[in-house]
Structure 1
Amino acid sequence: MLLNKKISVWYFIREIRSQILFISVFALSVALLDLLPGFRKISLPLNIPALLGTAVSLLLAFRTSQSYERWWEARIVWGAIVNDSRTFTRLVIQFLPDGEDQKIKEFAERQIIWTYALGESLRKQPFSEKVQEYLDTRGINASNIPNTLLDAHSKQVKEMASSKVLSDFQQMQLNDTIGRLCDSMGKCERLKNTVFPRSYSILLHILIYVFAAILPFGLDDSQLLVEIAVTILIPVMFIAIEKTSIIMQDPFENTPVDTPVTSLAQTIEINIKQMTGEQHVPAKKENPLYYEM
């Protein structure tokens, strides 16, 4: 996630450099083509490229809005995960009787590992050493590790309810919180697996290139440098906006504009360990970069 610091402009330029090069060559070729005697006679009213440019702008506005909505939904879901992780730990501490410190520690550690495992699985990364060590120690091997860890939560709650350590009301409260965590996990998986329609990008690209093709024929040929600059600049701006929306539409792709799942997992770990009275609570280091993951 981008922070309120100096943003690296070169990151965005690197992301769209091929598109900038292609649209620049395309626009320059069309602008020079307009200078040939056979094409010089062709003149379009400026209203035509202006109308097409307006249509592209509206489509880009919709695309950017939808992409930001996906990114913001992911951030809201992870905000709920932070809150529910704290709530779950607080309920466990409150409901378990004195002398059950080991069980509290088991719940707390499992919840911490769940947050890291969920973020890493959404980004399709290999599990970190912390998560892998926990899984190996307990012999956990499943296709969906975060869901398996929630199942372990539910199983332990059921066992404690059967042995009368928890009342029916307490069991219901804990299961309700586990259910909310499961809902959040499902929302993240939906955002990860639902692809933005490719046809929309193709339509936008076609309109942008058509706009770049007809724009020189609506400009005054007497100002060659201005015509070439405008023919390149406006389509490049459209391409840059469209590329920005593409980067933002997938919030779990391990990029600087991602939802900061690792940073949020670290926050959850610190909070839970403080709540359970752990002696060794990791300090969250200040991030020197313009983004956090």
Structure 2
Amino acid sequence: MLIKKRISIFYFIRTIKWDVLAIAAYAMLAGTFDHYGILSQVSIPLAVTAFSGTVLSLLLAFRTSQSYERWWEARVVWGAIVNDSRTLVRQVKQFMPKTEQGLAVAKDFAARQGVWCFALSESLRKVEHSNKVSTYFSNIGANSANKANLILDQHADALAAASEQFNINANKQVQIDATLARLCDSMGKCERIKNTVFPRAYSVLIHFLIYVLMTMLPFGLEDQSKLVEVSLTIIVPVLFIAIEQTAILMQDPFENRPTDTPMTALSMSIENTLMEMVGEPPVYKIEPPASYYIM
């Protein structure tokens, strides 16, 4: 996630460099046709070009709005995961007997929930699982294509075992189970966002309109300065491309990019808090970010 620091302009330029090169080449081609050959006599009213730009602006506004909605939903879901993780451990700690065995159950829940956060974030980003997650599953001798879901199953099994061992009140057991259900809902929401592809038709239409705008723009400008004409034909579409690229970066919040939801940072913070709640020292020393983003 981008933070309040100076953003690397080079990162953004790298994401649109090929579009800029294509726009520059096409703009010079359109400018050439405007000054030489049979098309040099063609003049398109600037109002027509302005209308195309207005339509393009409306599409970009809608695209940016929908992309931000996806990004913000992902952040809200992970905010719920933070809260429900704390609630889970607090409930287990309070509802178990105030004995060594009861505290051990709470510590097991806290450790598993910390692993769950990392397992979910890594599966969403489709990266190799960290040593923490790999070691955990190696120790329990189990594996699954959906590791986060397996950990929730282990939560449920541990809750059932503790209820029998300590004769936990059924109402207390239901409250903990409701928290597990909310965590499962949050996991499903993340998977829905990850697996739902933003309609490609929007990008195709926007790019088509950008090239239509580039085609018409030189024929509506005054021909007194070729350099100014070509420069404007490049600058205006590049601005539209930059806006669209901003929307593209936001529309997929789980792609292991600087604009992602900061799942790793959140997972570290969650685990530190959970360990503190059960009387254990924090696992991570969280330093202030040195870059313009946090993961």
TM over 0.5, shorter chain: yes
Matching residue of 2:262: 260
* 1:34 alignment partner, SS class: helix
Question: What is the distance in 1 between the residues matched to 2:215 and 2:133?
Answer: 53
1:123-202 paired onto structure 2 within 5 Å: 123-202=125-204
The corresponding residue for 1:55 is 55
Please tell me whether the aligned partners of residues 248 and 257 of structure 1 are also in contact (alpha carbons under 8 angstroms): yes
How much has 1:280 moved relative to structure 2? 5.0
TM-score of the superposed pair, with normalisation by structure 2: 0.97
| Aligned twin of 2:251 | 249
Partner of 1:270: 272
Match of 2:115 in 1: 113
2: CA distance, partners of 1:266 / 1:232: 45
In structure 2, stretches of 5+ residues that fail to align are none
1:98 and 1:55, CA in 2 relative to 1: closer, same or farther beyond 3 A? same
CA distance in 1, matches of 2:284, 2:195: 33
8 Å contact from structure 1 (residues 274, 281) kept in 2: no
1:142-169: CA deviation from partner (whole Å, max 9, x where unpaired): 1110001001111111222234531101
Q: Which amino acid aligns with 2:82?
A: V
Correspondent of 2:228 among 218, 223, 226: 226
Distance 1:151 1:167 in 2: 21
Q: How many residues align?
A: 293
SS of corresponding position for 2:126: coil
SS of the aligned residue for 1:256 comes to coil
Give the root-mean-square deviation of aligned CA atoms: 1.0
Secondary structure of the structure 1 residue equivalent to 2:35: coil
How far 1:57 moved relative to its partner?
A: 0.4
Q: 4+ residue runs of structure 1 moved beyond 4 angstroms?
A: none
Shift of 1:174: 0.2
Contact 1:96 1:165 in 2 (8 A): no
Give the Cα–Cα distance (whole angstroms) in 2 for the partners of residues 31 and 84 of structure 1.
59
Q: How does 1:22-41 map to 2 (within 5 A)?
A: 22-41=22-41
One-letter code aligned to 1:87: T
Equivalent residue runs for 1:39-118 within 5 Å: 39-99=39-99, 100-118=102-120
TM, length-normalised to structure 1 = 0.98
Segment of structure 1 superposing worse, 61-70 or 155-164 = 155-164
Deviations 1:240-260 (A, max 9, x none): 111111111000000000000
Unaligned runs of 5+ residues in structure 1 are none
Question: Does residue 206 in structure 1 map to residue 204 in structure 2?
Answer: no
Partner SS, residue 282 of structure 1:
coil
For residues 146 and 199 of structure 2, the distance between their equivalents in structure 1, rounded to whole angstroms, comes to: 26
Partners of 1:266 and 1:146 in 2: CA distance: 16
Confirm or deny: 8 A CA contact 2:272 2:282 kept in the other structure: no
